[in-house]
Structures are given as structure tokens and as C-alpha cells.
Structure 1
Amino acid sequence: MTPGGYLWWYLDAWSDDGRHGITLIAFVGSVFSPYYALARRRGTADPSHHVSINVALYGNAPRRWAMTERGRGDLQRDRDNLVIGPSALEWGPDGLTVHLNEVTAPLPSRIRGTIRLRPEALAARSYTLDQQERHHWRPIAPCARVEVDLQQPGLRWQGHGYMDSNIGTEPLEHGFRYWDWSRAVMPNGDTVVLYEATQKDDQERMLTLRFNPRGGVRDVEPPRRQGLPTSAWWRIDRATRADDGRAAVRQTLTDTPFYVRSLLDTRIEGEPGLAFHESLSLERFETTVVQLMLPFRMPRRARG
């Protein structure tokens, strides 16, 4: 990987009973790390020295959020395995198994247990997100089943899941000012992904894709763009696309100084859907005040 570059794997799921949700991101070159941003300014930005597992739990149980950054001495990686400190991701014949052992911040508590993702089909194609082709997105398992079995806190559930990856050869904030992203599960089990990014030079990039559990993918006619209420705490702008502007925020999951994650009720191609949605402001992320705040939620424990 190039200095200043990044690679991440993203997983999310919402339980069949509607009571629980999870997101997990494994970073090599942690794009939202204040320590990696500082290393880039100093000219010492080695992606493998800024790695982390970010996991967030949502729903009826107490919410938990963890993201501890670690160094190259805590990273092991080969074609099928990624180990970051005490947590590990393993790709096998049946899909992905995640062994979690993370500590939340700023108030410490444990997230420990196993997540299993079983793809219904794998997607082979990657998509460029910018005209310079420095940032790429691959929807690895857009339709999947996920089983969550956590000893701490005590949680067991299963639901519809999703997995993708992003890779870039430059810092994310060098390429983009803002983006909205969502993935919606539809009544027949299809997944619709909407990816809309504003680049640093103000050019727009939009992807509107529908994946089915048998491995098929097709373009979706972009629905009408609509604004959503700004986030309550940090006033982050959010927007999406839906039939006749009929998307609504069911729940704000994470509200931070530079991004907001939400659960939406939406309607696409005449069908209702439930969507994970994210709005990200890289301009906010670059501000000095945000960089100074981030270590309280992202401690660093590096060796090597």
C-alpha cells in the first residue's frame, strides 16, 4: 500500500426481529485516525502502523462503540486472515468469521465474541469512486446472513447482512469533500446500494445498484434526491434518494462531529426498504477542533 493510502473492510447487519444492529470496520491505514493524519503531515504515513477494528452495537441493548488504533507490531495479514491486536477476521469456505475482543471508549467496557457472515453470493467487480481512479469500492457480499454471538455483552441474534471494502492510494480527504452512502434490504432479499460522492474538485460521482441473492446486479434509475433532517447533536447534513422523496430517518445510530450513521425507512422502485445510511463530511474531519477531539474516542495502543 502507498504511504497515506488505506484499505478497509466493512460489515453491517440488522436483526430479523428488528431489535439489534451492528457495524464493523477493519482498517489498514485508519482513514479517520488523528494519529494517521499527523503522520501524513510529518511524512511518515505507513498504513500498517495505523490499524484498528471499529465496532458499534445498536438497538435495544446498551449501545457500545470501540475503536482502538494499533501499530505494525499488532498486525498480521495474509490472503485469508487479518489479525489486529486481540481481534481477528478469517475468511473460509463458508464466509467470514470475526473473533472480537475490543474495549470501548471513552468509558471502558468489553465487546467480546464472534460474528459470522455467510454470503448468499459474492460480487467480483470493483467500482471507481473518483475520476482519477485513486479510490475504489467493492461490494464483496451485498446479500448475506449474519450471526452475532457475543459473550460481552450477552447478545445472540441473526439477520440480513452486508460486506464491502474500500481501497485508496491517497488520504480520503484528498479525494472527497462529502458523501452519502446507503444500503437497503428490500422485501425479496435484494440489496440496493446508493453511493453519491462530491469530490474535492466538486465533481460528482453516483452509483445506484441493485444486487440479488443469486449474484445478479443491475443499475437502478436514480430516484429523486431528498434532504433529510440534519443530525441533532453535531448538525451534520444528510441526504439520500428515494421514490417521491419518501425516505425518513427511523433512528440516528451514531452522531459525530464529521459523520452521522442512521437507519432509514425508504422506498426504491416502488418497494419499501430498510437502509443503513451514512453521511460523511471530510471538510469537518480536517478541522483542527475535530482532530483534537478524536483521541477521546480513538485511543492508540501501538507496539512495533
Structure 2
Amino acid sequence: MAAPRLAVLGIDLGGTKIAAGIVDPADGAILFRSEIPTLAGAGAADLIGRVAAQATALLRLADAAGVRVRGAGLGLCEIVDRQGRLRSASLLDWQGRDLASLPGLDLPLVIAADVRAAATAELRFGAARGVKDGLYVSIGTGISTALIIDGQPYPGANGAALVIGTAKVETVCGNCGTASGESLEDFAAGRGIERSYDSTLQTTARTIIDRAETGEARAVEVVRRAACRAGAAIGHLANCTDPEVIVLGGGLGCAPGLYADELRQAIRRARWVGMPTKVQIRTAMLGPDGGIVGAALAFHEAAR
């Protein structure tokens, strides 16, 4: 009788959606996959319960197919330190929530920062294979970055290395002296695009980008401005870190069209002209599944 195929449950918990899958860590293949909306406004207890139900359904599919799932990795859009401890509460207030396991699941669980998990997946199976010094940038609902040093995502002392998307930059109006503070995400990522286009947030970033592709003037203006600001920030970050490769991931980072074109042009404009070689800009090969594969790899690496 053949030995069962070994796999890991990977869960990518983002600001808009929760993508999960049963992953073979040997080749990164996703055997079963599902996706549900995050609905963070319903609270932590509701979210954790729905993630557990989503995971249970996937585990049943794996069991029926004779796949043995050894554990689970949970990638969060939060700051996670080297020991797998949460250091932020950007998406939800996790205070008092036990994330060492999921309700009803008898599986060991490892917590990881979603951006470093996705970077790990690209290093292992995707656009960053063979890269020693690089940047992985995920642009979706928000913006997150991972610095790659010697072929590994670098967490920093507390897991907060290169957290630039949510960092507030205070500006003062030269005319009236009014101070305001906005982050890069506030105007350059999905949520910022939605807010700039429609203050009621009734139009999704995907719809706005689609309208820009048809030439709608307001959508073109919003998308172009967002991409240029994101690209300028990434270009300046590259000037500080000197990568050989920049990998763009996330829903917006991977999507072709006006945003992607303007983003890449802005990165190159912001690069210091004295650099001896041009940085390569690559699109993440695993696309939106990088977070799932990376979360599974987080458990796989921890269990070795």
C-alpha cells in the first residue's frame, strides 16, 4: 500500500479575503483551495470561527483523497517576531485570543507574517529563486514589504523590518500650518484607491482599475496617482537597500494594466542614477497563492 501524500494547511488571512489551501511543501502544489471574505468588522471571535470552519472543510477533502496533513501555518497581515509572536493589532484586536491553535482542529499551528511568508514562497518556488539580495513588495488592500538578505526574508529585531505601508508621515501645510498624517497605504494601495475615488467606499479597487482601463478620466487619475506614489516609495526603499531584484506581489502588484505599468515606471524614476546596474523588477510567479504556500512553508520549516 502506497504511503499517504504528506501536506500542510496554509492559511493567508488578509484584510479583504482569507485564502487557504492544502499544500505539498515539496513542490508548492496546492491540492485543495478555498477563499472566503475576511469581514474583520464582525470581530476576532467570528473571524477565528470562520477560519476554523474553512480549515475543517479543506481537511475533509484532504482526508477523502488520502492526503495526510501534518500541521498548519497561519499568515497574518500583522507584525510577527522571530518566535512567531504577534506584535501588532492592525487588522483586529487579538488581545486575549489564543492563536496557538484553531477551534476544533487537532493540528499544530505556526504563526507567520504574511509578507515574509509570501516572500519565502517566491524564494522557494517562484520569481525570487536564486536571489540573494532582494525586495518583495505585496500591494493589495494594503502595502507590505520584506527585505531579502542572503536568500532569506529578514524579520528585524522585533519582526517589523521595512514596515513602511502603515507608517504615518506628518506633513504641514505651508499656507495654513495645519498638520496631517497619512500612511502610504492611505493613498497608494487598494483601500486608498477606493477612498480617493469614492469617499463612501462603495466601489472596489478592482472595479476602479477596470474603469481606468476603459479610459474613464476620474479612474485613470486616481489609479495613476496611487501607482506613482507607491512606485516612488518602493524606488526610494530600493535606493536604501540596494536589491538585485524587486518582486511585486499581491492583488494589485501582480495585476497587469495601468497600475502595474505606472508602478514600474515610478520605481525606475525614483532609483538613484548612480547605481552601477539596473534592478530587475519581476512579477510574483505564485500570484495570490503565494501567501497560502508561504504560510504552509512556515509550518514546514518550523517542524523540520
Q: What TM-score bracket applies, with the shorter chain setting the length?
A: under 0.3
TM-score, normalised relative to structure 2: 0.27
Structure with the higher helix share, 1 or 2: 2
TM-score, normalised relative to structure 1: 0.27
Structure with the higher strand share, 1 or 2: 1
